[in-house]
């Protein structure tokens, strides 16, 4: 089978990307009139989804994101990620239990809601059961703005207290990051942009630039 050529980034959605999205959406009829599928934004209002569709099709989403977040963070090692998340925990959730591990994880395939992962394992400790908390962040966020990393870490940290994505959970997220909802939208916009053939905006190529 011939490998699918990587479309050169032109700012607009590539035709293969559009076709792929259409295929996903209408169950396999190429050339159907189905709107561009936006799996990462399916929870948002239809009007907002339509606006995003227009931005993506007009090639505006990447520039908009870069204008908002020109810089990438530099926390690229697991150690620096641990320190970052642990400082957040200390600031906001001091009594929530220790973090045993924080790491970038290339095995997290970023689909739908899984941007990071929080695991809680019960371990026997001196006759009591203690939770062992681990936070894994999808490694694509190694090359991302600090605001995106912050949003994901806040989300995973909030799971130390609240397991479900309910009202209490999102209140905790917005307590730690007042812009939480806006940032989650922007992260999902970025994922949609990549999903429709856009080139990474804060890739390794941007490293070393002052
Ligand atoms: Zn979650």
Beta partners for 42? none
pTM of the model: 0.76
In a domain, 95, yes or no: yes
In a domain, 52, yes or no: yes
Could you tell me if 45 and 85 lie in one domain? no
Does the pLDDT of residue 18 top 90, yes or no?
A: no
Q: How confident is the model over 147-160, as pLDDT tens digits?
A: 999 999 999 999 88
Coarse DSSP helix, strand, coil percentages of the chain, rounded to the nearest 5 percent? 45, 15, 40
For residue 90, the CA-to-ligand 1 centroid distance in Å is: 20
For residue 156, the CA-to-ligand 1 centroid distance in Å is: 6
For residue 56, the CA-to-ligand 1 centroid distance in Å is: 26
> Domain range holding 53?
15-27+37-71+187-202
CA gap 160, 138 in Å, rounded: 18
Residue 173 — φ and ψ, nearest 5°? -60, -45
Contacts of 19 (CB under 8 A, 6+ apart): 30
Q: List the beta strands (DSSP E) in 41-157.
A: 99-105, 116-125, 128-138
Q: Into how many domains does the chain fold?
A: 2
The pLDDT, as a whole number, for residue 202 is: 94
For residue 190, the CA-to-ligand 1 centroid distance in Å is: 18
């Amino acid at each position: 089978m011939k490998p699918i050529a990587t479309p050169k980034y032109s700012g607009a959605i590539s035709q293969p990307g559009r076709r792929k999205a259409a295929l996903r959406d209408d169950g396999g009829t190429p050339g159907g009139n189905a709107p561009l599928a936006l799996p990462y934004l399916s929870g948002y209002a239809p009007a907002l989804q339509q606006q995003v569709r227009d931005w993506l099709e007009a090639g505006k989403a990447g520039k908009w994101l870069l204008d908002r977040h020109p810089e990438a963070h530099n926390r690229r090692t697991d150690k620096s990620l641990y320190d970052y998340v642990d400082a957040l925990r200390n600031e906001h959730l001091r009594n929530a239990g220790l973090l045993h591990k924080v790491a970038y994880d290339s095995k997290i395939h970023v689909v739908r809601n899984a941007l990071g992962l929080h695991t809680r394992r019960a371990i026997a400790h001196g006759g009591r059961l203690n939770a062992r908390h681990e936070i894994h962040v999808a490694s694509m966020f190694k090359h991302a703005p600090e605001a995106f990393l912050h949003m994901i870490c806040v989300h995973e940290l909030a799971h130390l207290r609240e397991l479900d994505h309910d009202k209490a959970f999102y209140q905790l997220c917005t307590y730690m990051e007042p812009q939480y909802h806006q940032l989650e939208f922007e992260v999902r916009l970025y994922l949609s942009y990549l999903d429709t053939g856009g080139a990474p905006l804060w890739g390794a190529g941007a490293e070393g630039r002052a």
